[in-house]
Structure 1
Amino acid sequence: MKVLFAAPAHYWQPWAPHLRASCPEMELAREGDPAGFDALIYAPGYPEGGQALDFRPFTRARLVQSLWAGVERIVANSTLTQPLCRMVDPGLAEGMADYCTGWALRAHLGMDHYAQDGVWRHDQTPPLARDRNVVVLGMGELGRAVATALAGLGFRVTGWSQSGRPHPGIEVLAGPALPKVLARAEILVSLLPDTTGTRDLLNAARLALLPRGATIINAGRGTLIDEAALISALDQGQVGHAVLDVFRTEPLPPEHPFWAHPGITVTPHVAAETRPATASPVVAENLRRAMRGAPLLHVVDRARGY
């Protein structure tokens, strides 16, 4: 099978050896006649120059395999008619669980309360994890991994998704229950994708539903939070702290008010990264399925956007 590696140039060196090792029967190329490729391995930013890739010449392609978990920058391409599959990487899920549990524990234990300034602050004892309510918005692959990790630490975890699809050991509530879920979220972890239904989901009205002083950890998409509403909620003490890893504009501009706000911790989109070593076997499996006409893994529903 002939596969086009349609990703920015800096992806090639870390990805190519792992992809070839996972799928030795593949002929992996960075260029060639579009009509000669059986599949594409794709990441936004290809081709260079800012223009969107025209998928129409790839008349033989049976699969467009995204290297990203988020596909909002791909599904909007009207030239894409081939099956599109998002990346579900075990390493990415592990990384997201590490990030979210780390920041959740920091909030839960009040680690930032103990300034190293000679003052003996013996006035606050955190509850046990089993007495702390944590809510995970978005119960896809990443959300389920995070919810499971947090529950394993003893937190009282509630998941929320539009469908309410159950997950073992976790109470998962569906769309209309969002106000109820937010009302219990002492720590709120947001892992929702960017869709028309999730943009500005956390607006002023919904932020007001949180327990006063709640912590928000957003590692989903920057469009989920109304930025002005978040700053207002922080200034009023309704939200105690926000850890933000994703933003509407990335890199986050130096002049953006998030950088200077004492209630916000900015991390530079590092919560979870697709790792070539763990993701390449997933790509290989989908390539083989495409070639034999078998059902593909993690096919994107373009109407839903994920």
Structure 2
Amino acid sequence: MGLAIIAPNKSTDEIDAWKDVFRELNPDVNLQIYPHIDNKDAVEVVVLWQHPEGILREFPNLRLICSMGSGVDHIMADYVPEHIPITRIVDPRLTFSMTNYVVMGILNFHRQILRYIRDNQSKTWDMSHPEIPISVGVMGVGELGGDVLDKVAGLGFPVVGYGNSPKSNFRHPYYHGNQLQEFLDQVNVLVCLLPLTEKTVGFLNRDLFEKCKKGTYLINVARGKHLIEEDLIPAIREGSLSGALLDVFQKEPLPASHPFWEDERITVTPHIASITNHKAAAPQIMENYNNLMANKPLINQINKNQGY
């Protein structure tokens, strides 16, 4: 049985690091690296990140698809045979990094750090209104979103969660489905950690922004396709939003001509909120490789109907 890594957007150094861990875990693994996959018939397990569309059709003996990260939308958006399972990475370090990034963004807005950076540059001494009172809403309250709510609540801020499905005995105030307006009415910092599904593509749009409290601050760390990008700057200009912290985009790298670069109310980071650690991720993939060979249950398998 063979394993192929297909991640054309990752650097040679990154791929080499993954290869080293795989071979350390299983020196006998038949490992092929895209684009140099010479024996496609031997590939039964693929490890994917931003793979070329349609390439999965080229492996006639494929039995398992593994995401290199926690997200699987790049896989679900492509052709996937119904009988082939998909797994993802679950890593506490991903949660740690994501939560710290989001908390950083929330506190920067609360204490107006960007304003003071601009004041610094213009040598302006302005002590007025040093804090913005905030209430934080997180859309998508799985492992990542739940941890964000816990940590932000621990700092003493009011928090509210929102998701597509009801939850019983959730530890924070929670709304779902058609209760979106009730959720939005309570927050002025909006964090998107929704999974990317057919229902959530374009979820962050002009209609939603108009339902927000005036001056709401947006943080998107989920997927670029959640945001209708052309709706953001008008929403800021009209006052529905006061600004945004964005780590994910429709097209990455974000083109130099993109208007987000030019708007001081929008902070851009290059998809670094939470980075997969190959030393934590590769053993999970190799465990599933071994489980597949032994006909044992897989770990971290997604529900295809839910898309995550």
TM-score interval, normalised by the smaller of the two chains: 0.7 to 0.9
Measure the CA separation in 1 of the matches of 2:142 and 2:57. 28
Structure 1 residues 28 and 160: alpha-carbon distance in aligned structure 2, compared to 1, 3 A threshold: farther
In structure 1, what is the equivalent of residue 195 of structure 2? 193
Question: 2:214 corresponds to which letter in structure 1?
Answer: R
Residue type of the alignment partner of 1:126: E
For residues 240 and 160 of structure 2, the distance between their equivalents in structure 1, rounded to whole angstroms, comes to: 21
Query: Helix, strand or coil for the counterpart of 1:240?
Result: strand
Counterparts of residues 1-16 of structure 1 (less than 5 Å)? 2-8=2-8, 10=12, 11-16=14-19
Partner of 2:39: 33
- What whole-Å deviation, never above 9, does each CA across 1:24-73 have from its counterpart, x for those lacking one? 3761411453343442222233xxxx4531346342x4321110322222
Shift of 1:167: 7.5
2:267 match: 265
Aligned-partner residue type, residue 210 of structure 2: A
**What is the number of equivalent residue pairs in this alignment?**
297
Matches within 5 A, 1:151-170: 151-165=153-167, 169-170=171-172
Q: Is the 8 A contact 1:213 1:237 kept in 2?
A: yes
Instruction: Check whether the contact 2:175–2:182 (CA below 8 A) recurs between aligned residues.
Output: no
The verdict on how the C-alpha distance between 1:204 and 1:38 changes in structure 2, with shifts beyond 3 A counting, is closer
State the Cα distance separating 1:79 from its structure 2 match. 4.9
Contact 1:3 1:26 in 2 (8 A): no
Q: Mark the CA change 1:98 to 1:208 in structure 2 (over 3 Å): closer, same or farther.
A: same
Distance change >3 Å, CA 76–CA 124, structure 1 → 2: closer
Paired residue for 1:66? 67
2:49 is matched with which residue: 43, 53, 77?
Answer: 43
Tell me the TM-score normalized by structure 1: 0.86
Q: TM-score, normalised by structure 2?
A: 0.86
Query: Structure 2: 5+ residue runs without aligned partners?
Result: none
How far is 1:178 from its partner?
A: 1.3
CA contact (8 A) 1:5 1:28 kept: no
Residues 203 and 273 from structure 1, CA distance in 2 versus in 1: closer, same or farther, beyond 3 angstroms?
Answer: same
Secondary structure of 1:18's aligned partner: helix
TM-aligned CA deviation for residue 293 of structure 1? 2.8
Describe the superposition over 1:59-93 as per-residue Cα deviations: whole angstroms up to 9, x where unpaired. Answer: 2x432111032222222333534111122232222
| Map of 2:238 onto structure 1 | 236
SS of equivalent to 1:146: helix
What corresponds to 2:127 in structure 1?
Answer: 122
**Cα-to-partner distance string for 1:151-182 (whole Å, 9 max, x where unaligned):** 23222221211123357633332212211111
8 Å CA contact 1:158, 1:181 repeated in 2 = yes
User: 2:49·2:74 contact (CA, 8 Å) conserved in 1?
Assistant: no
Matches of 2:202 and 2:80, distance apart in 1: 28
Give 2:6's aligned amino acid.
A
Deviates more, 1:85-94 or 1:269-278: 85-94
Quick one: distance in 2 between partners of 1:159 and 1:165?
A: 10
Specify the code of the residue in structure 1 equivalent to 2:289.
L
Identity %: 31
Q: Which moved more, 1:235-244 or 1:28-37?
A: 28-37
The aligned counterpart of 1:177 is 179
Q: Is the 8 A contact 1:135 1:160 kept in 2?
A: yes
TM-superposed deviation, 1:207: 0.9
RMSD of aligned C-alpha atoms?
Answer: 2.5
Asked if structure 2 preserves the Cα contact closer than 8 Å seen for 1:56 and 1:79, the reply is no
2:23 is matched with which residue? 20
Q: Distance in 2 between matches of 1:288 and 1:150?
A: 39
CA apart distance, 1:228? 2.9
Cα distance change of structure 1 residues 170 and 77 upon mapping to structure 2, 3 Å threshold:
same
CA gap 1:62/1:185 in 2 versus in 1, 3 angstroms: same
> Hey, what's the Cα distance between the residues in 2 that align with 1:300 and 1:136?
22
Equivalent residue number for residue 295 of structure 1: 297
- State the distance in 2 between where 1:160 and 1:216 align: 15
Which position in structure 1 is the counterpart of 2:255? 253
Note if contact 1:20-1:28 (Cα within 8 Å) is conserved in structure 2: no
Aligned ranges 1:82-121 → 2 under 5 Å:
82-114=84-116, 115-116=119-120, 117-121=122-126
Distance 1:112 1:192, change over 3 A: same
- SS, match of residue 55 in structure 2: coil
